[in-house]
A and B are shown apart, each in its own frame.
Chain A
C-alpha cells in the first residue's frame, strides 16, 4: 500500500506528484519569441514509492523526464517517469524494495541482481540519441518522441565502466564527448575510466587511473588541452556499506583534490593538486592559458548535503554550505601542488550553474546561476513561509565587468536550474534567452519563464503556465530540432 501520509513534510508543493502528464497546447502569458524553436528537456527525481529509510537522500528518488516543445510560438509539455529496472521492480511489488542511496547491502534480497539506478540527474543529447544520466550506472536511452525508456546504452559494447557520469562534456567545435565513470569497477573502488566518444557515438579512446581516495566526482571541466577532475570531502568504503550506511559520508579532515590530465594523455599523466576543505559538485567552465589552467566553479565551503552526514558525528552546518563563483588557477610549471583561489562575487549562489554551451572549454564572459536575493520580497500570506529559503533570482555573472544582472521570478516563486539558449548559431555570447522552471507556491503550479538574457532586470518576456506542478528538476538542456527529432504535438497543431 502506498503511504506518503506518514511523512508530514511531503505536503503542499512537496507532495510527490506520481503521475505522467501531457499537455498538448500550454497556456502562455506574454509572447513566445518566434525564433525559439526546440525542446527544453528536464530530468529530476520524484518518489513513486516512499523511501525505505526516512533519512535517505532525495537524490535517490525515481527519475522523471519532462520536455517543453516550442514551435511557432506555441508550447506543449510531456512528462514521464524513467522506467528503469528498479522502477519496474518496485511497481510489480507495489512497494519500495531498495534501501539507502547506492548501498546494495540495504536492498531487499529479491532485487540484488537488478540495476538499482534511478536515472534522475541530467538529460543528454549526443549522436542523435537522448539519454537520462545518473553517476551510478550506464546512461538510459529515452525515446525523444514518446519519452519512453528504451534502456541502458553501452556505446556498442565499447564503454567498459560500470558507471557513467551525470556531467560528460561536449566539445562545441568537434562534437566529441568526454565522459567518465567514477567507482568504475564497483562501489567504493578507486578506479576512474575516461572516454573520448566522437560525434557519431563511437568510442575512440579510453584511459584509466585511480584517485587518491574514493569520493564524489560529480562533475569535470574541459579545456581545449586538459580535463579537470575535482573531488573533495565525501568518503565511502566497503566497510561503511556493509555496515548498512548511506553511500557517502562527509569527512572534513580530507583535503580536496583536483586532477588535471592532458586531453591526449592517459592515466599516468594525471597531476594531482591538493587544497582545503571544499564541496566540489559542479563547474562552470575552464581554459588553458599558456602554462596555466583556469577553472571557474560554484564550489561550496563545505558539505552541501545533510543527508550525507559527517563521519565524526558532528551536526551538519548550514552556514558552511555556501557556494560562490570561484576562480581557481593552476600553474602547471610550478612544482607546488596547490592552486590559487579567488571568490569573484560576494553573493552566495546556488551551484546549478550554466554558461553559453558554445563557449565550453573556451574563454567565456558570462556565468548564469540561481541565487537567493534577500532584498526581494516573499509573500508568506499567499505562498507560505519560505522567505529567504528559496532561489528567487537568476544572475548573469559578468566575469569581465565584474557585475551581476538579476532576474526576479516573483514574490511567491522559487526557481530551478536555468538554461541559456543562444538566439542563433552565430549570435554573440550572451545574446539569447534564459529559461527555467519556477515553482509558484501561491497557485501550486509550475511556470516556465523565458527572459531575454541581456535584459534580465526587465523580467520575463513570456511564461508557460502549467496547471500542475512539473516535478523537481536537477538539470535541464535545450535541444535544437536538428539534434533529435522533436516529439509531435496533437492533430491540428503543426509539428
Chain B
C-alpha cells in the first residue's frame, strides 16, 4: 500500500518494535492513509497514528482553534464586532442599509 508521496507504509515500523506491534501499526497506518488520503509525517514514523492536538470550537459565526492541545478555555479577542450584523446580509441588503460604507 502506498501513501500519497508514493512511498510505502512499511515505514510505519520503528526500530525495536515487536512484530505484532509492527503489524498493528501498519494496519492502523494504512487505514489512516486510506481514510484521509494523506500521510502525515508522524504516520510514517509512529507505531500508531498520533491524535491532532488542535481543538476547534465556534463562537458566534467564527471558528476558533486552540492549537496547544491543552483545552484552554475560549478567550475571544477584544472587539465589539460592530459590523457583525452585516455578516448574513446580501450585498443588496447591505447597500440598502448603508450605501456608503
Residues of A participating in the B interface, judged by any CB pair closer than 8 Å: 8-14, 55, 58-59, 304-307, 315-316, 318, 321, 350, 352, 379-386, 389-391, 412, 414, 416-417, 439-444, 472-474
Who on chain A is nearest to B78 by CB?
A382
Rounded to whole Å, the gap between the CB of A40 and the closest CB of chain B is 17
Q: From B11-19, B20-28, B36-44, B85-93, give the one contacting chain A.
A: B85-93
B80 contacts partner chain A, Cβ-Cβ < 8 Å: yes
Given the contacts A12-B85, A13-B82, A385 and B61 also touching, CB distance less than 8 Å: yes
- Give every chain A residue within 8 A of B87 (Cβ-Cβ): 384-385
Q: How far is the CB of B39 from chain A (nearest CB, A)?
A: 33
5 closest pairs, A vs B, by CB? A382-B79, A384-B83, A384-B84, A13-B82, A442-B79
- Partner of B77 from the list A8, A58, A382 (CB cut-off 8 Å) is A382
29 A-B residue pairings within 8 Å (CB atoms): A9-B85, A10-B97, A12-B83, A12-B84, A13-B82, A13-B85, A14-B86, A14-B97, A58-B98, A59-B99, A304-B99, A305-B95, A306-B92, A306-B95, A307-B99, A316-B92, A380-B62, A382-B77, A382-B81, A383-B83, A385-B61, A385-B83, A385-B86, A386-B86, A389-B86, A391-B101, A441-B83, A443-B80, A444-B80
Q: Closest CB-CB distance, B94 to chain A, in whole Å?
A: 6
Give Cα A306–Cα B92 distance, bound, in whole angstroms.
6
Check B77–A381 contact: CB distance below 8 A. yes
B6 within 8 A of A: no
CB neighbours (8 Å) of A416 from chain B are 100
| Docked pose: A391 CA to B101 CA in angstroms | 6
Q: Are A11 and B79 in contact (CB under 8 A)?
A: no
Residues of B within 8 A of A444 (CB): 80, 82
The count of chain B contact residues (Cβ–Cβ below 8 Å) is: 26
Partner of B79, one of A59, A352, A386, A412: A412
- Which among B61, B91, B96 is the interface contact of A58 at CB below 8 angstroms? B96
B73 within 8 A of partner (CB): no
Residues 20-77 of B at the A interface (beta carbon under 8 Å): 61-62, 76-77
Check A55/B96 contact, CB under 8 A, given A9-B89, A380-B62, A414-B101: yes
A406 to B: closest C-beta gap in Å: 18
Closest to B97 in A: A9
The closest CB in chain A to the CB of B96 belongs to A307
B94, closest chain A residue (CB): A389
Which of B80, B82, B85 is packed against the most chain A CB atoms within 10 Å?
Answer: B82
Q: Which residues of A contact B92 (CB under 8 A)?
A: 306, 315-316, 318
- Cβ–Cβ contact B80 & A474, under 8 A: no
Chain B residues whose CB sits within 8 angstroms of the CB of A9 once the complex forms = 85-86, 89, 93, 97
Contact across chains for A12 and B96 when beta carbons are under 8 A apart = no
Question: Which one, B85, B93, B95, B101, contacts A384 given CB within 8 A?
Answer: B85
Given A12-B85, A14-B85, A306-B92 in contact, is the A383-B100 Cβ separation under 8 Å?
A: no
A-chain residues with CB within 8 Å of residue B62 when the two chains form the complex: 380-381, 385
Query: Which residue from chain A places its CB closest to the CB of B79 in the assembled complex?
Result: A382
Min CB–CB distance B25 → chain A (angstroms): 40
Q: Which one of A318, A390, A414 contacts B91 once the chains associate, using CB atoms below 8 Å?
A: A318
Asked if B86 and A417 sit within 8 Å, CB to CB, the answer is: no
> Please, which residues of chain B bring their CB within 8 A of the CB of A473?
100
A14: B residues at CB distance < 8 A: 85-86, 97-98
Chain B: minimal CB distance from A167 (Å): 15
